[in-house]
Structure formats: C-alpha cells, structure tokens
Amino acid sequence: MSSKFFKELRAKDPFYEHGTILSSMASKPLSIAVKAFFEFLDTNAGDLILFKNIHRMERYVVKKLVKILGCINGRCSGYIVSGGSEANFLSLWLLRNYALKNRRIRRPEIVASYASHYSIIKAANALGLKIIYSRLTKDYKTDPDDVAEKVSRNTIAVVANVGSVELGTVDSIKEIAKVSLEHNIPIHVDAAFGGFILSIMENLKFKKFPGFTCNGVYTVTADPHKTLFTPIPSGGFFVRDHKFLKHIRFKAPYLPGKTTETLIGTRSGGSIASIYAVLKFVGLKRLKKIYEKCYETAFYFYQKLLKIGKFKVYGILETPIICFKPLTCSTDALMKKLWKKGWTIYKCSIVDGLRLVFMPHVNRANVDKFLSDLISLVEH
C-alpha cells in the first residue's frame, strides 16, 4: 500500500497548521520531538532489560519536570504515561491505597469541583470513590471555604485544577492547602494544561503554580503532549516523594527483578525520547516564548471580542483559554454554523458558551478570519 493512500486519508481531517482548529489543547509537535519519537518508535519503556537507555532518559525527564513543578527536596518522582486521564487515575489510585493503609478508611471519598475533568469521575467510578462536589466561586474556581465544609474523615484527597479543561481557571492551591493540611488530607492537582505553562512563564501578571513547594500537594498531573508540544501520547504522573509509589507497586514475574508502578505495562519509549529532546535541545526559554505568543493572541482576541459587545466573556485569561457566550442567539446553533464554515470549536458546557484554546497554531490572522465569520453569523 503506497504512502499516497495514507496521505490522502490523513488529508480528510484538518491539520493544525491550517489554523481552523480552535478548541484543541494539543498542537503540532515540535520537529525535534517528532524525530526523537520516530527514532525510538519500537522501544518499550516497560522493559528495562531491553531498553536501558529509555529508562535513563525517563529518569532524566522526570527529574527535570518535577523540578519545573516545584520539587526542591530531590525526593519527587513519577512516570511518563499516556495522558492526563491515566495520570489522574494513577494519582487517585495511589492516594486511595495510601489512605486505606494509613488511615483505615473504609468508605473513601474525594472532594472535587464541578470544573474537574471527566477523567476524575471515571477514576472515582473505577476506584470506588464517592465524589463530594465542592462549590465554585463566582470566578468558577474551587471554593476553599466550601472545601473546608465538605472534607470529612472519609476524604482521601482534594482535587484542584490548574488550567481547568473548560475555562482554563486556576484554583488557589495555597488556600486549598491550608484546609488540607489542617485535616491532614492530600491534594491532587490536575495541572494537565496549566502546570508547565504557569511554572515556566514567571509572569508577574499571573500567580506561579506552587506545585510541590506547597506541602499539601502530594500528586500532580501535567501533560507534555499538551504544552511541551510532543507527539501524542505523553502525559505526566508525578509524586512529591518516591516512597509513595509503593502503594501502586506490583511485581512483573516474567521480567527479572522488575516491578511496575504504572497502570500500563507497555509504555511508549518514543514519547519519553520526544520529551527528552524538547528539554535537552529546545529548552525552557524557547518554550516560554511560545507560551507568551499564545497569551498575546488570546489577549488580542479577548479585546476584540469585548469591543464587539455581542458576547459575554468568561474568565481572566490565567491560561490561554477563553470562553464566551452569544447574547443574541443560541450557543448550539452558533457552534453548528461555525462548523459549517470550517471552524473546529467546542462547547464550554459549564457556562453554555463556546471555548477557544490558543495554541501555537492559532495566530492573529486566524483570529481575524474567525472574528469575521463570527460577527457575520451573530448579525444574521
């Protein structure tokens, strides 16, 4: 079968570089990440006997990433996994097992807000965890005061968001930590989208993600395939102390001396190699410049949208995500019309609006074209 066949098949779906994909949290991977991925395409990070260099690369990558996420004690650890959903599952699995052993909880619960990613709900279902939903503030962030009301002796973790999937909001981790430390309850931070951005940006306009510098934070999800621009799949599962990993450690008898601390046994060595390439040869300064460009484009759109006056705009642009709701027509009807125009845009269901994620493939020219179509549709 010729390569022409696959090129034609691929061409039936949109490409990021076309600039019409407006709601994706992923973008076109960096070229060096793609090269590294393909070089190690046939390697399995779950087999340390065959692929020792992948193991060395993963330890290098995790050491660098946990440092970005605030690890200062040298005890943090973790793994590169398939994505944020798996990382969230691993985190809650670990924290549940930790609580069952050390606190003898028999009816485990988690406290999470309605802004949490649906993978939290899936993980809770699979792990037998009851979700106690905490209230959102007027800014659609987890309310620390309500968390204090909702935690109990059965709470095994509080879930916080850094770059919530719909609105991009950033919870007040330090305020939530005050509650968690008072009750001796771990925090899991789902920072799949915002973790690396807010750790690398060092922008005084936004609060830096405290990550593991905050004592209450036990586990963090942060995804390289979102904001380090590596090929899918590559998520990040990180813990504040490597000793915690024993709570999800299992033996793999057919591999000499091998234990596993991940959900999936066979893991992509290509994913690890691609992250290694970005950290080693792209670096944080260039990543920061990419993020700054994303914010600039988001702010450009934000200002234009406000001037039009036909939309309610949500959020304060803590991460490069904007949600807006049309004032003169149905959100669903407008979305379908935009789809017909060729724009890939999704719902922001929490406010019944539309959601734009400003990744590197979205530039000002794309924004101007989108705004032109948007205005024409709401005026007719």
pLDDT given at position 310? 94
User: Domain end: 266, 281, 296, which one?
Assistant: 281
CA 279 to chain centre: 18
Q: Does 169 share its domain with 302?
A: no
Q: Does 198 share its domain with 307?
A: no
β-sheet bridge partners, residue 239? 77, 219
Q: Does 173 share its domain with 252?
A: yes
Q: Residue 181: how many CB atoms within 10 A of its CB?
A: 14
Q: Does 106 share its domain with 142?
A: yes
pLDDT band at 3; cut points 50, 70, 90: confident
Q: Does 97 share its domain with 129?
A: yes
- Residue 194 maps to which CATH number? 3.40.640.10
Q: In whole angstroms, give the CA distance from residue 200 to residue 197.
A: 5
Q: Does 260 share its domain with 315?
A: no
Q: Does 58 share its domain with 24?
A: no
Q: Does 22 share its domain with 161?
A: no
pLDDT given at position 253? 83
> What end-to-end distance do the CA atoms of the chain give, in Å?
48
pLDDT given at position 252? 83
What is the arithmetic mean of pLDDT over 225-239?
Answer: 98
Check pLDDT > 60 for residue 256. Answer: yes
Q: Does 183 share its domain with 55?
A: yes
User: Domain end: 236, 254, 281, which one?
Assistant: 281
Range of the domain at 330: 3-28+284-378
Q: In whole angstroms, give the CA distance from residue 323 to residue 351.
A: 8
Check pLDDT > 70 for residue 207. Answer: no
Strand residues in the chain grouped as ranges (E): 77-81, 109-113, 130-134, 155-161, 187-190, 217-221, 235-239, 250-251, 259-260, 311-314, 321-326, 346-348, 353-357
User: Domain end: 281, 306, 333, which one?
Assistant: 281
Count of domains forming the chain = 2
Q: Does 205 share its domain with 63?
A: yes
pLDDT given at position 294? 97
Q: Taking the model in full, what pTM does it have? A: 0.96
